Chains A and B, each alone.
Chain A
Amino acid sequence: MTTKEIQNPLINFLLHLGDNALILGHRNSEWCGHGPVLEQDIALTNIALDQIGQARNFYQYAAKLISETSGEKITEDSIAYLRDGWDFKNCLLTELPNGHWGQTVLKQFLIAAYQYYLYQVLEKNSEEQLSAIATKSLKEISYHLRWSSEWVIRLGDGTDDSKQKILDALEIVWPYTNELTNFTDYEIEIIGDTYKNIKDNWIEKVYVVLTEAGLEIPSTVYNHNGGKQGNHTEHLGYILTEMQFLQRAYPNSEW
């Protein structure tokens, strides 16, 4: 299936939210069994589980709307497993490789801070189902944000080695952060003017945490965009190859 030609802003927005959650959840799940200590391995794996659960809620809602308009039977599984890279609307930051632990928690922090403010806006949305999913997700995201903020501070304010590593990670991921708050038409259609507040709140939160970590916001001149419109880095293809393999090789197979 393809969702590339869909014009409905609500469906596109739901796909975008679901894709962000699924791709980041998939990336975080790569740490399962590889975390630095057991508690943190479990923590990040639980975060990944939350994200995949959130993705399912957004996909189920999107699938219902797509099925109603197209007359085809679309499910959450067809959305996750049977679309190609150009159909995915996740931010590029979610698909970047994990790198080391510091880079992973930094990515998680930057995205959780963005989701934290975005979902507070969605919670008040007049679409009941969207508001319900956001309310539930927001509680989970508060924990993700707290956990990842503490890690960024611990590494930035830690040893010379940990500080250097998080500095390097910041240089790598920062050019991908502008896309988070660079809102597209389908997002603005649903959230209205509030997008300006999300941007301000996000940058303020990032500033506060980075400052406490002894880090500075990089002065990047170039920003990467395009994920929200389906233009991705090469990394997404590798994720989909692994994630979709079973359904592609054995169509309609069931667990």
Chain B
Amino acid sequence: MTKSEEEIWQILEKISDPEIPVLSIIDLGIIRSVTVNDNTLDGISEVLIHYTPTYSACPAVDMINAEIGVSLHAAGFKNLHLKQKLFPAWTTDWMSEAGKEKLIQYGIAAPIGRSCDNGKLEELKIVCPQCGSNQTILISEFSSTACKALYKCSSCLEPFDYFKCH
């Protein structure tokens, strides 16, 4: 990895997911590659970033792209190409362990199991991120955003979101 590529990864680490601000886009695992070409004719480094959206209709994609553009521009990277890469498809397995821990701290239960398990949602034991109880009930498969399900804790009686395993 070149020095400027390293710098870009560090900048991206500071960009958060607009819907779950505790997670950076690196925690989410949506950045696939960063390539910098310093040998351009005009001397302006050319940056190529490949990313994979989390969900088909994730409304945060445009906002994240705009933030990447603004942050890199501010750091002097003025020639940016952002390319969407759908193959292979993003899964919750790509979310970093640090990211899962941050989710729980934030009050969202982190995805359980591997994305290919395809286990029945109601059979999963989801632990309440508020009080740690495993006495929880599924209220709805769809919650505040499409990527989350709504649960209720029978111990502390608080509702909470579960980031679905996709």
CB distance from A119 to the nearest CB of B (A): 11
The CA of A47 and the CA of B121, in the complex, are separated in Å by 16
B142 and A136 contacting across the interface, CB-CB below 8 Å: no
Closest residue to B87 on the A side, CB-wise? A132
Please tell me which one of the listed residues B55, B144, B150 contacts residue A136 in the complex, with CB atoms under 8 A apart.
Answer: B55
Interfacial chain B residues near A128, Cβ < 8 Å: 87
B57 and A54 contacting across the interface, CB-CB below 8 Å: yes
The CA of A143 and the CA of B91, in the complex, are separated in Å by 15
CB distance from B141 to the nearest CB of A (A): 5
B160 within 8 A of A: no
**Binary B-proximity of A111-130 (CB < 8 A = 1, otherwise 0):** 00000000000000000110
Closest residue to A136 on the B side, CB-wise? B89
B88 within 8 A of A: yes
B11 within 8 A of A: no
The CA of A66 and the CA of B151, in the complex, are separated in Å by 45
> Can you list 23 pairs linking A and B with CB atoms under 8 Å apart?
A42-B142, A43-B140, A43-B142, A46-B145, A46-B146, A47-B146, A49-B59, A53-B58, A54-B57, A56-B57, A57-B56, A57-B86, A132-B86, A133-B86, A135-B89, A136-B89, A137-B56, A139-B91, A140-B55, A142-B118, A143-B121, A143-B141, A146-B121
Report B's interface with A, CB cutoff 8 A: 55-59, 86-91, 115, 118, 120-121, 139-146, 150, 164, 166
